[in-house]
Amino acid sequence: MESHYNYFNRDISWLSFNHRVLLEADDDTLPLFERINFIAIYSSNLEEFYQVRVAEHKAVASGGKSEDMTVDEAHDLIRQITDTVNRQLEDRVRIYEEKILPALRRNHVVFYQSKSEVEDFHKEFVHRFFMEEVFPYIQPVKIDPENVRFFLRDRRLYLAVKVWKDAQEKPEYYIIKMPYSKVPRFVQLPSHEGNYYLMFLEDIIKANLQEVFIGYEVECSYCCKISRDADVFVDDVPAESMVEKLKEKVKKRKIGAICRFVYDRKMPDDFLDALVEALGINREELVPGDKHLNLEDLASLPNPNPDIPAIVKPQPMFLPGMNEKHFMYRRIAKRDMLLYYPYHSFEHFIHFLYEAVHDPFCREIMITQYRVAEHSEVINALIAAARNGKHVTVFVELKARFDEENNLATAELMRKAGIDIIFSIPGLKVHAKVALILRKNDKGERLRSYAYVSTGNFNEKTAKIYADIALYTCNKQIVDDMCTLFKVLRKEVTEPRFKRLLIARFNLLPELKALIQREIDLVKEGKPGRIILKMNALQDTAMIDEMYHASEAGVQIDLIVRGICCLVPGESFSRNIRVTRIVDSFLEHARVWYFGNGGDPLVFIGSPDWMRRNLYRRIEAVTPILDGRLRRELTDMLELQLSANRKACWVDNQLRNIFKRKPGNDDVRAQYDFYEYLKNKLAEN
């Protein structure tokens, strides 16, 4: 029987989220350079989207196999994506040209957008800078389809140039790769009469192309770039071959199939036709862009005016007394502890590891690695533990997209230090963010041991910008469950039993469905049913149907979903469901699930979103929060996010971001208000 329920398309929903990111640049109340940074984030997100998602759809459209869509459906989705992105790019152009650039000028920063804007007092500097700093790295390559096919590197910016030679009947075309490894993308020019000046490197090159093409007439030039398929498939590879196969595939990523050719939309048709033919571009891959591409580089735009306020974010807090011996051990032994990154410093976790390094009763440390920082303090602590005689086991997920090379390198570093490395399981990803410190006395008897379950990676760099939550506990049942989980990863147990933890592919889905059914049963008994789910993405239609069933039964449901949300609110079957999206200074990354349970709430945190991949094809870990004080903290956080009227919006049944009432005297800005909440808690203790 065909379902009467509706669902948003995953990719169109994601584009709605990315548009919400872009709209932060439209907020005049934010610091100017923070608004510029949101344009950079929007652009970077879109680049990765094309590298992964659109590349996958293009492969299907070209006849590749897919269980999810036909060739015609893939073509139709690509058209929808193109139309949506083009509409968003119009917004980006409007915000950038009509709001950001004038705001810079009001702050005495003139950002030249073309060679024609350069004032007379800067023309000599621009010419001299080009000749001295740029010209030595310019290497024009003639585009000649009959002789040599020019290879374009992924995500690199190129300048396509059209020139004429005297008496020639046809123009010649050249490609110049921007020398950003040698010269910065943004060049600061001499200040003049109280104003500061910036210029794109490509505009400096355009202004001096005649110096490159001596004896030619330069007619015009336009920027272009390509995106290549960046996905790496190794699921069908045996475990013993995975490392070498992954290394091989990562190397080939740079020469993957073209999934997008972006060009300056002002490029004349005959110029574009010449490039398409010469570079072997499929016309379905054409995406018109702005004059300046790769705007993710705006994240590094220099601020030449010291009077422009810097971006000020809440500084990570430290629990008092952290430098005392066994500080973390003692705190956790007293009662379970939640830390909220980046409001609390990730240094607490590093300290936690080093306490284990120097603990004579610590026999073993086990941890999962999905994404870690380069030159990671976490890895250094684990190496120190191994050298101090601890048995250290690290499960390294090699298939963490775009982190494969770093994971391979850190795994080799740890292996050389004597750490036991468990690599990826074929056909499965381990996405759980867990750590375990096992302690025993000299007789081998178990002493108090410590478990850590988080919503975020063991990455001290992203912990400064991702809003995540971590539980530190010595609860025996959770510690025992953690031991069982690592036995599963070691392939020592195939049918595990967990007492407290919810583990994807084992007990997570049955327990989730039972929790939802409990709320439905309460409504049938005439009592209120309440569910609040906070996550990054909601895609799995089976679990969405569970939400629809609960809504139809009368359960009140609030979803706080940052990104993909395939559930459609505001329909007859979802009238009791509201979807909130929060985009602010930090990336909302925590997964928190609240079930009213008739007045005795059940609250969980963990690693999975409700995506098919998370629920069915990954190892994910979720922990209940057993301490009533901590459950209250999480409930307060959720209620604060739901009451936010600044930086929070609702998502409607057309995937529009509907902002709540305008900021006023009673503003609620969830991230900053929760920081103050935690700060007050710290003062009370």
Q: What is the largest CA-CA distance in the chain?
A: 94
CA distance 376 to 4: 50
| Residue 582, strand partner residues | 648
Q: CA dihedral in degrees (341, 345, 350, 352; nearest 10)?
A: -80
The CB-side HSE value for 561 (13 A sphere, CA atoms) comes to 32
Using CA atoms, how far residue 552 sits from 507, 525, 570, 642, in Å, is: 26, 15, 12, 22
Catalytic residue among 344, 348, 431, 589: 431
| Residue 339, strand partner residues | 470
Name the residue among 571, 559, 556, 546 with its Cα closest to residue 523. 556
CA angle, residues 94, 95, 101, in degrees to nearest 5: 105
CA angle, residues 125, 129, 133, in degrees to nearest 5: 170
Name the residue among 446, 61, 391 with its Cα closest to residue 257. 61
Peptide bond into 510 cis (omega under 30): no
Name, in order, each residue with C-beta under 8 angstroms of 281's C-beta and a sequence gap of 6 or more.
Answer: 258, 261, 275
Using CA atoms, how far residue 583 sits from 12, 24, 85, 525, 671, in Å, is: 18, 8, 19, 38, 9
Contact 348, 321 (CB under 8 A): no
Q: Report H helices in 96-146.
A: 101-106, 120-129
Instruction: Give the three-state DSSP class for 104.
Output: helix
CA distance 494 to 642: 41
Start-to-end C-alpha separation, the chain: 58
What is the SS3 assignment for 391-442? EEEEEECCCCCCCHHHHHHHHHHHHHCCCEEEECECCEEECCEEEEEEEECC
CA distance 479 to 469: 18
| Residue 535, strand partner residues | 561
- Residue bearing tokens 């309440």: 530
- Is 431 assigned a catalytic role? yes
CA angle, residues 535, 539, 540, in degrees to nearest 5: 110
CA distance 359 to 551: 51
Instruction: Kindly list the catalytic residues.
Output: 431
